[in-house]
Chain A
């Protein structure tokens, strides 16, 4: 027999977990994509040395497990005097992780912009910063938007790991509830559905944003 009603008394636990997951997701998506945009720009247009620094960062993050990155930041950094709260450590780990993956994705977008576009901006007198922000970024992001949104959702789902350093996110709530009432099946099923709903919501939000940003694709 299944007892979903046993979860009802814990609804506020689930709700506050959901809230933490959503907050962290929104924040790290914004910061991570911003970090990725800066790093991709450096990697594509920067000088040798700075390109190298970005490459090391990207490869370091993409070739190590997220949980190890998280543990290093939370348990490791205090050894050199950096004490972070679980929430802060998670925020930093998620941002750095998304930053590295999105660097590679966004760089592919930048690389897809033809040299002619840059030259056209140049002969019109735009400086490099104006060329980036006015001419390059929007078409570049349009090309890689589906890949970028998928990556953001992957990071959101991957954030379940932060319950391991006792951030009270959605997964933490599920663990807590099933340890109290032993309804593991119900508890994790409900949690899975909540993550699913969150993914769908996030995709909707990204699509709506995409429609605004890339209006030129759908208009007239």
Chain B
């Protein structure tokens, strides 16, 4: 069944037409990689799905609920849509454990013991159980991003949005983050990633969406799409990234 549903979504920044009628249906358990040149609208699309950006026309639903930027709606949405950012955005004044426990305690109103148990389990999952009491600035970029993943998972989202989450990392740290994502994909969590990691998109992803000039230009099974691009634009893009 479809979890995320975009229907003819248009988005403008002033006169700039960023998204030009996006239709996209994402089913539960899918791992969708959105690729494309910078400025093609990938991140904007992702940010529309969880209400961080407003869209002007069309409709988006997540788990049957309509997405708007209305504050209360964004918060309700946060319960089913998790997001991870390029720059981690961990809270610097909280320990790793506190970062992961914050939303479960004050949004879901879990008890401290319960939230701590969840936090420890999630940190275990990303391989950072021993960093519970460390502060983010003491961690490497890759570790920080894994904490950010644990923080998002602690809210048990139905879908996890990843906005270029390995782009700010040193090359040798990319692998550890992708490994966590791969593990999550195996467990069946729905992932929507804006990414430049073509190998990940091909080997782990269940679908690739190529965006160009604010439109879904080409999409389908990763192996087919990436090895046999149909449009000139995707051919050109593949040539540039490989």
Complex contacts, B135 vs chain A, CB 8 Å = 216, 219-220
Within 8 A of A (CB), among B75-111: 75-76, 78-79, 81-83, 85, 87, 89-95, 102-103, 106-108
* Contact indicator A124/B103 (Cβ below 8 Å): yes
* Contact indicator B103/A122 (Cβ below 8 Å): no
Q: Number of contact residues on A: which range applies?
A: 20 to 34
With A126-B103, A127-B75, A220-B135 given, is the CB distance from A214 to B87 under 8 Å? no
- Which listed segment binds B: A71-79, A131-139, A164-172? A131-139
Tell me the bound Cα distance from A124 to B105 in angstroms: 11
> Does any Cβ of A come within 8 Å of B11's Cβ?
no
With A125-B75, A125-B155 given, is the CB distance from A216 to B92 under 8 Å? yes
Count of chain A to chain B residue pairs whose CB atoms are closer than 8 Å in the complex: 73
Interface residues of chain B: helix, strand, loop or mixed (majority): loop
With A128-B71, A216-B94 given, is the CB distance from A120 to B85 under 8 Å? yes
Q: How many B residues face the partner with a CB closer than 8 A? A: 33
Task: Please report A residues at the B interface, Cβ cutoff 8 Å.
Answer: 114, 116-117, 119-128, 130, 134-135, 138-139, 142, 214, 216, 219-220
Task: Please report B residues at the A interface, Cβ cutoff 8 Å.
Answer: 50, 52, 71, 74-76, 78-79, 81-83, 85, 87, 89-95, 102-103, 106-108, 133-135, 137-138, 151-152, 155
- 8 pairs, CB–CB < 8 Å, chain A vs chain B: A119-B85, A120-B89, A122-B78, A125-B78, A134-B91, A139-B93, A216-B95, A219-B135
